[in-house]
């Protein structure tokens, strides 16, 4: 058991350094490097518990497995103290720097920029056309998110809709079948990522 714990710690140290290098390569400022007995061959040791900020996105903070991150999350992003995204997969990040580069790109291009875009457009109603006929509407009048499907969603999708932290409700009111939830930029961004954006329509 002790060897297994050491093996996991070593993998996380390597993953943390790969992620740190990838974030630094796209302009992030990092703090929290520390020495570790698990990886004496690495001069910088580990970035587990470290943080990263970017001058272009003040208020956004990337954290590598801090104690207050969601259970099982290896990295997380908060903006203004609000958690906007998190991810696991430290084994993949430890295995290849390319995986770390891809995640670093998503942290900026998908999560931070996407979140800030939603915040800036929070006073407009609009609909996202997604794959397989799914639509996601930002309903300003009801301050909600509404997801509509061309038919009954699969069990996998229904499970996603009911996950803790979102728990969409189903409504057939007025003959308009939809799943709805109170709006937050983070929840809308999560829905768009899950159903894959094709086109955005105003109004």
The pLDDT tens digits of the residues spanning 118-163 come to 776 666 678 888 888 999 998 888 889 999 999 999 999 999 999 8
The pLDDT of residue 96 is 79
Q: What is the pLDDT of residue 203?
A: 55
| Residue predicted with more confidence, 13 or 39 | 13
pLDDT tens readout for residues 56-96: 888 899 999 865 555 678 999 998 888 888 888 888 888 87
Cα–Cα distance, 182 to 156 (Å, whole number): 22
Q: For 40-50, how does the pLDDT look when each residue is reduced to its tens digit (9 = 90+)?
A: 555 557 888 89
pLDDT of residue 1: 47
> Residue 51 pLDDT > 80, yes or no?
yes
Residue 47 and residue 40: Cα distance in Å, rounded?
13
- Give CA torsion, residues 67, 69, 70, 71, to 10 deg: -30
Q: What angle do CA 189, 166, 54 make, to 5 degrees?
A: 40
């Amino acid at each position: 058991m002790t060897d297994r714990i050491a093996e996991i710690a070593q993998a996380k140290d390597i993953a943390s350094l790969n992620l740190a290098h990838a974030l630094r390569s796209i302009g992030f400022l990092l703090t929290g490097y520390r020495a570790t007995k698990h990886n004496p061959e690495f001069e910088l040791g580990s970035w587990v518990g470290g943080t990263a900020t970017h001058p272009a996105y003040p208020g956004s903070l990337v954290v590598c497995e801090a104690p207050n991150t969601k259970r099982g999350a290896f990295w997380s992003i908060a903006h203004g103290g609000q958690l906007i995204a998190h991810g696991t997969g430290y084994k993949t990040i430890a295995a290849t720097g390319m995986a770390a580069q891809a995640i670093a790109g998503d942290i900026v291009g998908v999560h931070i920029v996407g979140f800030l875009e939603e915040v800036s457009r929070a006073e407009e109603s609009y609909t996202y056309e997604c794959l397989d006929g799914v639509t996601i509407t930002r309903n300003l009048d009801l301050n909600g998110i509404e997801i509509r499907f061309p038919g009954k969603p699969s069990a996998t999708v229904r499970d996603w809709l009911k996950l803790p932290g979102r728990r969409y409700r189903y409504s057939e009111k007025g003959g308009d079948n939809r799943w709805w939830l109170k709006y937050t930029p983070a929840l809308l961004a999560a829905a768009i990522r899950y159903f894959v954006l094709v086109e955005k329509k105003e109004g």
